[in-house]
Structure 1
């Protein structure tokens, strides 16, 4: 018995969303500690909510904050090096549910991480035209350890991943709308389109991404380039004699629709700092915009010069190999203090470990996609592969420019949506119906027809795909404790450490 397409269209993403919500919200209050960089972002969010800018905290503030005494901050300004939007979103969760529990200060991260799953499903479904491929992409993200961990701690990168993916979703909606207009138009240039609301929406999302972390700027540039290049390809395919000139003019229009909107969103995220007088560097100039520029100059210098050692630092070249995930929280109770299963020796960990089966297979899919595009054999999935690779390049390649900077493997959560989309598209390509291939020297007695061979090959790849997805899900279940911080027997934790750098 199979679901009708119309029923599956809403039931599949609903089921994926509920699964993602369960894995992200159940036990969200645990641990009742400020995990890793939560010590900065959660407390910054709380002072944003009360002061309009990030205030300073005493050195022993964490213990007071987690025990419910949240008002030990001062009105002195704290020096922070990331824009405020992600912290405002964290503050929204505390506004709704209070700051006396980890549920309140992690609510927004969990909500955004949950919503990312149906978003990825819909992108993959639209790129492929297949509910099954969309379900694979969304499902692998729903159970992925890195995605879960970054939804259960209030760091900034989960918010960045959502806004970046949302921007690509808007660009995809624009593509479906504008391609048809270009292909059906007349003239040697093609239409010059100002009415592109989805590009404006992408600008809003990218402005929000930049207002979470500056690395959103790279994605803004990549999206702009993709829009221009894709427009040129479609105009050329439509046989417009002046396709290049048309794409240049349309690119200028897209810039006007995209960039100023993004800049306005970014500037709006600093409203609290601009309308109050206590923020860091706020008094550096009588003109608040000049003062903000001065502050940004200082922030830029900090980021460029950030090269301090850290035990979990991981340069970007290591990320595809998954050599050094970040241990963000660890607790090992005394023997007999806690009981877990068959052992009195327990450990609780929250780390940025993606599902290794999904992770390594996704990079293999990326290589396959590149080869297929070069050889022009991707067929109907060519636009999908190009789209996924653009998102991956925008969120990964810029980090390779900073080999000596202190960066971490959990930054890859912004890459993860495009990796699972590429993997799902690759599985779709492998399981596509094969065309019969007639042998050059057919046998006089044909035992098996070319159609039967093609059908058998298709069935074999579909069995492989089903087995792979099942293995990936089982592996995700096995690694789930590393994303949640729930206690597990120490010997079981040791089995999770597949590589030396995972300890």
Structure 2
């Protein structure tokens, strides 16, 4: 149900505005190039106008230098292949579909993580109606695709946790049944080498990195998280030297997740590798004495491309009017304006003296500010009560958020936070679960919890309805737009 709601919000008026907005000017063009050639090509200066007017697009013969991998752009290209590249619905279809699927995934993940269909529904609802994720789902930037693959990887590791514990219990049960309840098996525990859900998680993480390199932090954090889950499982099961799980589970996890990630990541570059004219494709032939000469020429060229792109990202410090420091993200200090257009009476459906049409990535304040406060309680439950669910939620937030503090001079934007927004919502839902209480609590306690949660949900829905016009490019009076800009820094 929540995925349906998310889909309705994402697909309704998806073609508005009908022009390329914000960084769509890069990624939509790259996606079209991939459809035509398998690699990114340069465009004439008037390319934006040809997209807006629904005219045929004309690519230049020269390759284009880009600094993001191709997975997200291929996902944009999917919609363009289905519905055409000459309309906004076509180039935004992939983002809208991916956003709706993320709502579905998060709801299923929360239901399993908290063993509650109610909390799963709340998680799906909050992501469905939050403006930050909604704006990303209605514009063709890369971050909504990055978020999808990260959430999918987390869900796969959650399934692996359950599967691994069941297999561990069965293996130990067979050992005990064989008359060796305290022997070697309970000293170290069995090897659990075949972990298909880890392969799935690795492939998803590779596709996340193939969308944006910032996903590398999730590879490291999720890899550590899944091994620590196995360490805990062996300790609970009575394995005496449970610390050896760092070896018995850590090494197989590494050689399962990392190869799967590398394979899916390398496959995403197949268009570039199979071409002759892509940017830097012939670098190895032109520079035979540079780099790792023992590698095949295509791999050397790709390695040089990656080195160049990494240097670009590290040196990205140009000023931008909507840049924001990571310290401000949790409180939405400076949301990004994707689109803004003013109109006078009689223009674009404006019925008053002055109107505004905007797409702003401001989130639902109750969701974001509530989630920011919830992190403190989740941190307490992880550190003080060793709740693995709290640790899992914090892992996602840490992987998506903390690495940005290592680059204080780099130009960063609030919309990067969408990659860990699902984990913020899980933190919020975790706390709402505590408020709702347990089935064993008194009826009075349960009623209070239900009342508080119901009021919170009602407030979330009311605020989402209020902010919806500035998320979906509706033309509203200028005074109405200003009323929705609660902070001067939002303008």
SS at match of 2:210: helix
Given that residues 183 and 234 in structure 1 are in contact (C-alpha distance below 8 angstroms), is that contact kept between their aligned partners in structure 2? Answer: no
Aligned runs of 1:21-32 on 2, under 5 Å?
A: 21-32=7-18
1:429 and 2:417 aligned: no
SS at match of 1:347: strand
Other-structure match for 1:85 = 71
1:462 and 2:453 aligned: no
1:124 and 2:110 aligned: yes
1:100 and 2:86 aligned: yes
Q: Measure, in 1, the Cα distance between the counterparts of 2:2 and 2:313.
A: 37
Other-structure match for 1:440 = none
Q: What runs of 5+ residues in structure 1 fail to find an aligned partner? A: 1-14, 437-453
Indicate which of 298, 302, 305 corresponds to 2:312: 302
Q: Measure, in 2, the Cα distance between the counterparts of 1:259 and 1:373.
A: 27
Given that residues 43 and 59 in structure 2 are in contact (C-alpha distance below 8 angstroms), is that contact kept between their aligned partners in structure 1? Answer: yes
Q: Measure, in 1, the Cα distance between the counterparts of 2:16 and 2:470.
A: 13
Deviations 1:311-356 (A, max 9, x none): 000111111121000001111123321334x634211111111111
Given that residues 345 and 352 in structure 2 are in contact (C-alpha distance below 8 angstroms), is that contact kept between their aligned partners in structure 1? Answer: no
1:318 and 2:318 aligned: no
Indicate which of 351, 357, 369 corresponds to 2:360: 351
Deviations 1:18-45 (A, max 9, x none): 1111100011111111110000000011
Q: What runs of 5+ residues in structure 2 fail to find an aligned partner? A: 176-184, 286-296
Given that residues 47 and 57 in structure 2 are in contact (C-alpha distance below 8 angstroms), is that contact kept between their aligned partners in structure 1? Answer: no
Given that residues 433 and 455 in structure 1 are in contact (C-alpha distance below 8 angstroms), is that contact kept between their aligned partners in structure 2? Answer: no
Q: Measure, in 2, the Cα distance between the counterparts of 1:374 and 1:384.
A: 12
Given that residues 323 and 502 in structure 1 are in contact (C-alpha distance below 8 angstroms), is that contact kept between their aligned partners in structure 2? Answer: yes
Given that residues 93 and 105 in structure 1 are in contact (C-alpha distance below 8 angstroms), is that contact kept between their aligned partners in structure 2? Answer: yes
1:387 and 2:386 aligned: no
Other-structure match for 1:398 = 403
Count of aligned positions = 467
CA RMSD, 1 decimal: 1.4
SS at match of 2:213: coil
Deviations 1:408-429 (A, max 9, x none): 1011111111111111121011
Q: Measure, in 1, the Cα distance between the counterparts of 2:16 and 2:482.
A: 22
1:52 and 2:38 aligned: yes
Other-structure match for 1:11 = none
Q: Measure, in 2, the Cα distance between the counterparts of 1:70 and 1:208.
A: 31
Other-structure match for 1:486 = 474
TM-aligned CA deviation for residue 233 of structure 1? 1.4
1:161 and 2:147 aligned: yes
Aligned runs of 1:441-480 on 2, under 5 Å?
A: 455-480=443-468
Given that residues 336 and 345 in structure 1 are in contact (C-alpha distance below 8 angstroms), is that contact kept between their aligned partners in structure 2? Answer: no
Q: Measure, in 2, the Cα distance between the counterparts of 1:235 and 1:343.
A: 68
Given that residues 57 and 73 in structure 1 are in contact (C-alpha distance below 8 angstroms), is that contact kept between their aligned partners in structure 2? Answer: yes
Given that residues 51 and 75 in structure 1 are in contact (C-alpha distance below 8 angstroms), is that contact kept between their aligned partners in structure 2? Answer: no
TM-aligned CA deviation for residue 195 of structure 1? 1.2
Aligned runs of 1:78-477 on 2, under 5 Å?
A: 78-184=64-170, 185=172, 186=175, 187=185, 188-286=187-285, 287-340=297-350, 343-376=352-385, 382-433=387-438, 455-477=443-465
SS at match of 1:491: helix
TM-aligned CA deviation for residue 372 of structure 1? 2.1
Q: Measure, in 2, the Cα distance between the counterparts of 1:481 and 1:305.
A: 36
Q: Measure, in 2, the Cα distance between the counterparts of 1:339 and 1:270.
A: 45
Deviations 1:251-301 (A, max 9, x none): 100111100110111111111111111111111113111001111110000
Given that residues 124 and 133 in structure 1 are in contact (C-alpha distance below 8 angstroms), is that contact kept between their aligned partners in structure 2? Answer: yes
1:500 and 2:471 aligned: no
Deviations 1:110-159 (A, max 9, x none): 00001011100001100111111001110011011011100100000000
Moved more, 488-497 or 199-208: 488-497
Given that residues 390 and 427 in structure 2 are in contact (C-alpha distance below 8 angstroms), is that contact kept between their aligned partners in structure 1? Answer: yes
Given that residues 342 and 356 in structure 2 are in contact (C-alpha distance below 8 angstroms), is that contact kept between their aligned partners in structure 1? Answer: yes
SS at match of 1:331: strand
Q: Measure, in 2, the Cα distance between the counterparts of 1:208 and 1:502.
A: 33
Q: Measure, in 2, the Cα distance between the counterparts of 1:332 and 1:192.
A: 64
Q: Measure, in 2, the Cα distance between the counterparts of 1:338 and 1:92.
A: 31
Given that residues 45 and 88 in structure 1 are in contact (C-alpha distance below 8 angstroms), is that contact kept between their aligned partners in structure 2? Answer: yes
SS at match of 1:296: helix
Given that residues 235 and 243 in structure 1 are in contact (C-alpha distance below 8 angstroms), is that contact kept between their aligned partners in structure 2? Answer: yes
SS at match of 2:283: coil
Other-structure match for 1:36 = 22
TM-score, structure 2 normalization: 0.93
Other-structure match for 2:53 = 67
Q: Measure, in 2, the Cα distance between the counterparts of 1:434 and 1:23.
A: 34
